[in-house]
Structure 1
């Protein structure tokens, strides 16, 4: 009697091909998502210098993580809470807090999960409670951070003295036009093609009537933060230092105005 040994079944060719395609699709998806999921290290002080400015900077895990920038030799009489742009590390705005410190401004830059302000629109609540200490509070935001700052204020009227938008505008379903006591400074880069000037101007219809729109001459979207060039942005016609001087002067005058 002859015994028969069963042959191992070979994978069918279409199954192997499908497996390879799935692996390739997974690798491609991970490649696309990696810059978002893997955020660069948060390092303070590497790109925050500003002429004649003196400030102390520290990282705090308080309220989900913030960069706290305080004046040196000058009392901190005002608080600025800042929402970074989408996928921009918070230290990219450390320069601005350093520049404003000599005028008595304490700047608290909020860190968001995945560096997206949409993941924590209401973070200003706990930050203001912890840091305001009875002082006037201003809320600022760049790009997506500005849109989310406006959205926060749409449901929290009277929370702050002023809003500062940098290359940003309220979303189409958000309006602050009824908040007549809210002061707003709207900074627009002359050659910004990320936050298109036409969209920024259209956003004025959803802001209080007294909103001040200022064009930062020669500037682009990426000049509001120190994070390098940005895809889809325009071409600047001034140096970054020249643009930063305009930004600082306008924000300083807006915050310190009595």
Structure 2
């Protein structure tokens, strides 16, 4: 092999090793910063009505399916951390889907809805929602999607700057906890211009962390109510948004 080609090959090998090392280190760092699911959520994952189909978690209602909800997790929060939330929706007759996102970041796979919809499509209405970064990721999907999605909900979240949904005719619900110190309130308020005028905004007691079962998130405020109480408020609001006539 000519000397020049050997030098190029050596440099490419070094660059490849550096990139590989960066990926490995990045993966380790993300793993250490990820919020794990609490015991209550792990217990739900063992229930008979919970199915793990590859990267898709399905929480089935006991009786008739009255609607489908796809949920995107918060950034660096284990998908399973929202199993309690999913189970409570299932108790209302909703079939709930959650996708195990790469590195627990929904923004890396905003199109996860497509795979779920195609694999589990039925004649019931479909809704999409997300917590924190998951809400922004859901808005990004809605922006480009042509699927007939009836509604969108945000939990401690707001649409991304590139997701102008102001002209969309769909139900939108935005729930913010009064002591949520993770959400940037300035951006939250400005993002209202990106949502339809019929969007319903609700402020409830609680904080950012209590939208899931993953412990206390760094930088968050203390909650004035329990995690269980906050979940009930959220589930009731989502059911009302979907429409009590469906139930």
Question: Could you say which TM-score interval applies, normalised by the shorter chain?
Answer: 0.7 to 0.9
Cα distance in 2 for residues equivalent to 1:227 and 1:244: 13
Match of 2:128, SS state, is strand
Instruction: Name the one with the larger helix percent.
Output: 2
**Quick one: which of 224, 231, 235 aligns to 1:237?**
224
Match of 2:95, SS state, is strand
1:127 is displaced (CA, Å) by 0.8
Match of 2:162 in 1: 173
Match of 1:154 in 2: 143
1:48 is displaced (CA, Å) by 6.2
1:212-231 maps to which residues of 2 (within 5 A)?
A: 212-217=200-205, 219-231=206-218
With the length of structure 1 as denominator, give the TM-score of the two structures.
0.78
Match of 2:57 in 1: 67
With the length of structure 2 as denominator, give the TM-score of the two structures.
0.81
1:43 is displaced (CA, Å) by 8.0
1:8-157 maps to which residues of 2 (within 5 A)?
A: 30=25, 34-37=28-31, 46-47=40-41, 56-61=49-54, 65-72=55-62, 74-157=63-146
Contact 1:188 1:200 (8 Å CA) reproduced: no
Aligned length: 222
Match of 1:161, SS state, is strand
| Structure 1 residues 220 and 42: CA distance shift in structure 2, 3 A | closer
For structure 2, the 5+ residue unaligned runs are 1-20
Match of 2:201, SS state, is strand
| Structure 1 residues 66 and 215: CA distance shift in structure 2, 3 A | same
Contact 1:193 1:233 (8 Å CA) reproduced: yes
| Structure 1 residues 49 and 43: CA distance shift in structure 2, 3 A | closer
1:157 is displaced (CA, Å) by 4.5
Give the superposed CA RMSD: 2.7
Write out the 4+ residue segments of structure 1 that deviate beyond 6 Å after TM superposition: 38-45
| Structure 1 residues 158 and 66: CA distance shift in structure 2, 3 A | closer
1:102 is displaced (CA, Å) by 2.4
1:123 is displaced (CA, Å) by 1.2
Match of 1:12 in 2: none
1:167 is displaced (CA, Å) by 0.6
Match of 2:13 in 1: none
Match of 1:82, SS state, is strand
**Quick one: which of 176, 191, 207 aligns to 2:195?**
207
Cα distance in 1 for residues equivalent to 2:176 and 2:158: 10
1:92 is displaced (CA, Å) by 0.7
Contact 1:55 1:69 (8 Å CA) reproduced: no
Highest RCO, 1 vs 2 (Cα 8 Å, sep ≥ 6): 2
Answer with 1 or 2: which has the greater Rg: 1
For structure 1, the 5+ residue unaligned runs are 1-25
Contact 1:55 1:101 (8 Å CA) reproduced: no
